[in-house]
Structure 1
Amino acid sequence: MHSLKEFADTLPEYAKDLRLNVSSLLNDQTLGDNRKLGLILACAHGTGYRPLVAAAEAEVEGKIDDAYANAARSAAAVMAMNNVYYRFVHLASNPVYGTLPAKLRMNAIGNPGIDKADFELFSLAVSAQNGCGMCIDSHERVLSQHGVNAEIIQTAARVAAVMKAVATVHATL
């Protein structure tokens, strides 16, 4: 399987900025390797685009341990559900939905198997991809409580944006 950079290199010339952004993300030193690669993996899974997921899986293979890889996948899976539900709660005109229990199993959030702040960062990034403002606010609050600064949070959102754009453009080829 190809690396993420090789995958990005298959994008057309009109998406050159995306290729350059993937390269920048891979070289970014803001996050540390576990966070960066976990974010890339979570956001690839968050796109739901199998070719990008395969490239991200190949990129992280042997570079992060199974706990980080599984937590990244888990964040994408749980946010696929939560972002739809909580976006509904947020957007519905009737405020009663915000008072009702969600009745959704989401144990991974409470026990992610890795550092809580890293899992929250993965969840925030996938929530940004999915456009759930309520979830973004919730995860950002927890990250702030864990001392994660705005630059790290913004970098996570940047990873989410680039991965979503790469999936979108590649799917049209």
Structure 2
Amino acid sequence: MGIDTLKQELPEYARDTKLNLGSVTTTSSLTPQQLWGTLVATAVASRNARVLREITEEAAKNISEEALRAAKAAASIMAMNNVYYRAKHLVGDEAYQTIPARLRMQIIASPGVAKLDFELWSLAVSAVTGCGVCLESHEKTLTGSGASRDNVNDALRIAGVVHAVAVTLDAEAALA
């Protein structure tokens, strides 16, 4: 179950995705909590029930319940923030940048895990949902707080691979 199950379910045409899923989960500069939290947060953001169930089930064996909750919280808060901040940016009117968000975001201040881990998960979710403003902000916070570019790159790789697994399994389900 878990990652191995997802790899088995990928069709032959997604061989690269299957190999990459194995690679990003076994060769990473991230701590186990960062790795599994990134997998969970991006699985939530990728919106595929099968991917989310398999990854969350395996993650629960590798990280604490508190870390699992925080990873899901990162995906939840970034689902809102990515839409809001991307839209403000895309409108193209600088006046919107001066208007306060007036959105509750207390989880960011007190996520229940190391701030660096939560930031990493927020960056990965922002990659899945495509918010350049949030990507830039989280990357600066991460590298300014001691995360390496390899850490950031690994989180981005995980985001891309988990999303590819979700898209592929969605396509196969639609064609079945």
TM-score (norm 1): 0.96
Paired-residue identity, %: 39
Give the C-alpha shift of residue 25 in structure 1.
Answer: 1.6
User: 1:138 matched to which residue of 2?
Assistant: 137
| Pairs within 5 Å for 1:80-159 | 80-159=79-158
Aligned counterpart, 1:46: 45
Deviations, residues 76-115 of structure 1 (Å, cap 9, x unaligned) = 0001110000001111122211110111111111111100
In the alignment, structure 1 residue 57 sits paired with structure 2 residue 56:
yes
CA contact (8 A) 2:28 2:154 kept: no
Distance 2:114 2:32 in 1: 14
Higher relative contact order (CA 8 A, sep 6+): 2
Give the TM-score normalised by the residue count of structure 2: 0.95
CA distance in 2, matches of 1:35, 1:78: 18
Which ranges of structure 2 fall in alignment gaps of 5 or more residues? none
Cα deviation per residue 1:50-78 (whole Å; 9 max; x = unaligned)? 11100111111221001110110000000
The two structures, once aligned, show a CA RMSD in angstroms of: 0.9
Structure 2 residue identity aligned to 1:54: R
The 3-state SS of whatever aligns with 1:30 is coil
C-alpha distance after superposition, 1:97-148 (max 9, x if no partner): 1110111111111111100000000000000111101000111111012111
How many residue pairs align between the two structures?
Answer: 172
**1:29: how far off?**
3.8
Aligned residue runs from structure 1 range 2-21, under 5 A? 2-21=1-20
Match of 1:24 in 2: 23
Distance 1:29 1:152 in 2: 8
Conserved 8 A contact 1:5-1:19: no
Shift of 1:5: 2.0
2:65 aligned with 1:66, yes or no? yes
